[in-house]
Amino acid sequence: MAVAHDAATLIGTGTGTIEGTHTPSGTPRGVVVAIVQDGSAEEVTAVTYGGVALTKQVFKGQATAEAGSAQFWFLGSGVPTGAQTVKVTVSGSNTRAVTCMTLTGSEDLAVAATGSTAAESATNPSVSLETGNLETVAYGATFSGEQASGVGVGAGLTQLTEGQLTTVSTTYNTLRRTENPTANTTVSWTYSNDEAASVGIAVKEASKEPEKLPEVRGVGAISSGTATFSPEVPTGTETNDLLLMFIESGGATTGTEANTVPTVEGPWTEVLSEKKGNTRLTVFRCITPSASPTRKVSDTGDHQMARIVGIKKGTFNETTPVNISAVSTQASTKSVKCPKITTTVANCLVFAAASGNLPDAAGEAQFSAQANSSLTSVTERIDNTVTAGDGGALMVASGLKATAGEVEETTATAVTEAERAVATLAIAPPQTPKSDASIFRRPHRGLLMTGRTRT
């Protein structure tokens, strides 16, 4: 049985110590208590559930104009069963609201992530919870300077408790994600231009840890020219990082077009290369033997530009970094479409790349609206145009494919119509270690071998 929301109770509102009863629906394995108050000071000194102490996990205050704060406390083991008294002890006299939530699960529970945000004038505040690919139950709590009638909850969220803190206008609101998220998530509210102090918490089963996902370290600066050059590596590059070099290049004349495939000196392996007219898109990779490997790009006849994306060591499959790749071309267009691929493992970081033979201008805003319905966290990584030679354009975006399977086309919009080479490639996550059972073999004559040499 996975971690699940069980029940929620508004314990009470008021000043001073607040005490009341929470009755769980099932057998609780975890307790979350949300406290929202007027005033930005940390006035809560203790929270107990059935006499067992909870631990404060996150607090956020907003001190200007209508001041307020929100916080979460948590208990993940030794939770008493049945109806229990929730007691919040305080040191100040501000008005506050206390909400208790219980959770069920097959084991003890733990906090996977917390987050917070505050502003004097907030519109639709949102709190991010970085949980990786864990299944969690996510809660949010907010203080708002808006009246309760003006505060709503974001998409995919269920309101648990809400109301006025004072007779003036300040409001408390607690909520949860309606469905258990299995990736990084958010909790959010809908209201306009008012004070806000918001917190979020995600709870997991204690033994569960997120699988490592390919993680971008950074992107090196753009390099271009009409002769050989060595593009910059990302800041902070370390030995055994995976480096992906994306190159756009053009040929010597219109007649020969971009026929020459660039080469890179050093420990680099070509992943893909495709041309359309006088633009070529090429990708090289290397697991770098040092923080600054040899990386000289050859002269293809007219111009070259290149940027390097770094993937942190330990977050990719070192044996087979590239799970799958595909290339295609497009006639002159502003509507970029990078090809479909089908990944064979979960949690791949997918890169979509496009080159262009135009414009002949230097800039960093040629592409926009990168999107892919198969991916989460789609992020633009590279957007450059250059004047070297007859000029060109290069775009790279990335997104996470949580499950193995088909990745739809990545789309984007360009400012300038251009012929394009386009590509998609997926970086695989680290291999899951095999269990000890995998080392056993069934030898002849029914002997069970355990890796020892028989003498």
Any domain includes 210? no
Range of the domain at 160: 4-205
Task: Provide the terminal-to-terminal Cα distance of the chain, rounded to the nearest Å.
Answer: 48
- Rounded alpha-carbon distances, angstroms, from residue 205 to 20, 80, 89: 27, 18, 28
Rounded Cα distance between 103 and 76, Å, is: 9
DSSP tag of 297: B
User: In terms of domains, do 72 and 124 share one?
Assistant: yes
User: In terms of domains, do 183 and 279 share one?
Assistant: no
Domain-terminating residue out of 169, 186, 205: 205
User: In terms of domains, do 287 and 160 share one?
Assistant: no
User: In terms of domains, do 140 and 287 share one?
Assistant: no
**Mean pLDDT, consecutive 10-residue segments, the chain of 455 residues?**
95 96 98 96 97 98 93 98 98 95 98 96 94 92 90 96 84 94 91 92 94 94 97 98 98 79 97 96 98 97 96 96 98 98 96 96 97 95 96 97 96 97 97 50 38 33
Domain-terminating residue out of 205, 239, 263: 205
Task: Please give the tally of structural domains in the chain.
Answer: 2
Looking at residue 433, what is its pLDDT? Answer: 58
Q: How would you classify residue 12: left for phi > 0, otherwise alpha for psi between -120 and 50, otherwise beta?
A: left
- Rounded alpha-carbon distances, angstroms, from residue 168 to 43, 196, 429: 21, 15, 53
User: In terms of domains, do 233 and 172 share one?
Assistant: no
User: In terms of domains, do 359 and 401 share one?
Assistant: yes
Rounded Cα distance between 215 and 132, Å, is: 11
Looking at residue 192, what is its pLDDT? Answer: 85
Looking at residue 438, what is its pLDDT? Answer: 40
Looking at residue 257, what is its pLDDT? Answer: 85
Any domain includes 438? no
- Per DSSP, the three-state class of 42 is coil
Any domain includes 88? yes
φ, ψ of residue 445 to 5 degrees: the values are: 65, 25
Looking at residue 436, what is its pLDDT? Answer: 43
CB of 305 closer than 8 Å to CB of 388: yes
Determine the number of helices (DSSP H) and then strands (DSSP E) in the chain: 0, 31
Domain-terminating residue out of 153, 179, 205: 205
Any domain includes 17? yes
Structure-token match 């769980």, residue found? 24
Any domain includes 306? yes
User: In terms of domains, do 30 and 107 share one?
Assistant: yes
